[in-house]
């Protein structure tokens, strides 16, 4: 499953490289302590530029193989659906690689977006299986062709 998903992400990266993409955020990855990587972000997480964020998170997990990855949103002023997708996809990759994943310091609109999508608790700590199950149970049922 993850291979198909990463292939789709690589395809999206190729599309993003063909167009002028305005970077709306900045970020850096650094080691905090023994095998813990922090990805510190600022600005607005929205639009095609977020593919670069997704790549940063994936590389930190896959290449760094940390025990824990912390994504710090303290300086993030806006979280769009693309940014939310990047954070959730990072969660999925971290779980696949056995890395603990935490999104911290979400405030204002950023926190509201995570709450509205019912992923605030899930992203706060990937070791909290209860939060993951609750997020999955609250998800709307997928539509089928019979629903139309």
Given a cut of 90, whether residue 102 has pLDDT beyond it is: yes
- Is CATH 3.30.750.24 what the domain over 12-135 is classified as, yes or no? yes
- Mean pLDDT within 27-34: 86
Question: What pLDDT score was predicted for residue 130?
Answer: 64
Is the pLDDT higher at 102 or at 136?
Answer: 102
8 A C-beta contact, residue 53 and residue 41: yes
Residue with tokens 């824990």: 68
Sketch the domain layout of the chain as residue ranges. 12-135
pLDDT digits (tens, 9 = 90+) for 45-74: 999 889 999 999 999 999 989 999 999 999
8 A C-beta contact, residue 89 and residue 56: no
Provide φ and ψ at 73, rounded to 5°. -105, 15
Query: 78 CB contacts (<8 Å, ≥6 apart)?
Result: 43, 44, 45, 46, 109, 110
Is the pLDDT higher at 133 or at 85?
Answer: 85
> Which pTM value belongs to this model?
0.73
8 A C-beta contact, residue 2 and residue 93: yes
Question: What pLDDT score was predicted for residue 11?
Answer: 35
CA distance 93 to 55: 11
DSSP string, 35-53: TEEEEEEEEEE-STTHHHH
Is 63 exposed, middle or buried, given 0-12, 13-18 or 19+ CB atoms closer than 10 A? exposed
Question: What pLDDT score was predicted for residue 95?
Answer: 86
Given a cut of 60, whether residue 37 has pLDDT beyond it is: yes
For residue 22, what pLDDT band results from cuts at 50, 70 and 90? low
For residue 43, what pLDDT band results from cuts at 50, 70 and 90? very high
CA distance 122 to 132: 5
pLDDT digits (tens, 9 = 90+) for 113-140: 999 999 998 899 887 666 556 655 665 6
């Amino acid at each position: 499953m993850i291979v198909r998903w990463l292939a789709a992400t690589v395809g999206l990266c190729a599309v993003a490289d063909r167009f002028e993409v305005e970077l709306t955020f900045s970020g850096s990855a650094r080691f905090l302590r023994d095998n813990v990587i922090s990805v510190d972000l600022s600005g607005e997480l929205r639009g095609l530029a977020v593919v670069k964020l997704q790549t940063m998170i994936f590389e930190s997990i896959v290449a760094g193989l940390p025990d824990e990855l912390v994504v710090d949103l303290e300086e993030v002023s806006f979280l769009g659906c693309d940014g939310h997708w990047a954070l959730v996809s990072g969660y999925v990759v971290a779980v696949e690689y056995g890395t603990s994943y935490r999104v911290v310091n979400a405030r204002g609109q950023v926190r509201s977006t995570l709450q509205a999508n019912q992923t605030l608790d899930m992203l706060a700590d990937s070791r909290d299986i209860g939060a993951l199950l609750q997020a999955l149970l609250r998800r709307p049922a997928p539509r089928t062709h019979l629903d139309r």
